[in-house]
């Protein structure tokens, strides 16, 4: 590995090494624009991986980033989008289940409820419970 100049952030050097490595690679089957986009994404991933690795190191109050921290950081970055989607599903499921529970409480109090409202509450409850279950099973 090259020597890091004093005061230069490590990610700049790592990104420069990645660029140098990519210069020697054949661009086939990528178009020039696609290869440029690939390089941009790789640089962004490197930056994100370094930042997440350092964040994990800080949480563990360590002095250096270990290979385990880098692996965990990579897992966090890859799983990040999926977790957001699952969280949204769980939130939507909770809202639907809450709407159903409100209708069911009205029915339990003896208030008159139409057939469509009762069926709607049942459907909302089933869909809401299913979305929450999906979230729990996937995480």
* pLDDT tens digit sequence for 92-131: 999 999 999 988 898 889 888 889 988 999 999 999 999 9
Whole-model pTM over 0.85: no
pLDDT band for position 1 (cuts 50, 70, 90) = very low
Give the pLDDT confidence score for residue 42 in this predicted structure: 87
Q: Are residues 56 and 7 in the same domain?
A: yes
Q: Is residue 48 part of a domain?
A: yes
Q: Which of 19, 40, 65 is the last residue of a domain?
A: 65
Identify whether residues 60 and 1 lie together within a single domain. yes
C-alpha–C-alpha distance, residues 76 and 62, integer Å: 19
59 lies in some domain: yes
Q: Please indicate, yes or no, whether residues 55 and 115 belong to a single structural domain of this protein.
A: no
- Residue 47: give the domain boundaries: 1-65
How many domains does the chain divide into? 2
Q: Is the alpha carbon torsion for 77, 81, 82, 88 positive or negative?
A: positive
Q: Is residue 71 part of a domain?
A: no
Is residue 73 included in any domain, yes or no?
no
pLDDT mean over 34-39: 88
Same domain, 110 and 58: no
Do 45 and 84 fall into the same domain? no
37 lies in the same domain as 93? no
Q: Give the residue-averaged pLDDT of 40-68.
A: 91
Same domain, 12 and 61: yes
| Predicted confidence band of residue 6 (pLDDT cuts 50, 70, 90) | low
């Amino acid at each position: 590995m090259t020597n890091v100049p004093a005061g230069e952030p490590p990610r700049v050097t790592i990104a420069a090494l990645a660029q140098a490595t990519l210069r020697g690679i054949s661009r086939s089957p990528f178009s020039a624009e696609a290869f440029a986009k690939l390089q941009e994404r790789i640089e962004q991933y490197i930056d994100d991986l370094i930042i997440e690795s350092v964040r994990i190191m800080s949480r563990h109050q360590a002095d250096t980033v270990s290979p385990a921290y880098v692996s965990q950081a990579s897992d966090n970055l890859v799983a990040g989008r999926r977790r957001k989607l699952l969280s949204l599903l769980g939130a939507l499921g909770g809202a639907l289940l809450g709407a159903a529970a409100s209708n069911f409480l009205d029915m339990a109090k003896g208030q008159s409820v139409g057939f469509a409202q009762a069926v709607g509450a049942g459907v909302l409850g089933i869909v809401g419970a299913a979305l929450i279950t999906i979230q729990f099973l996937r995480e």
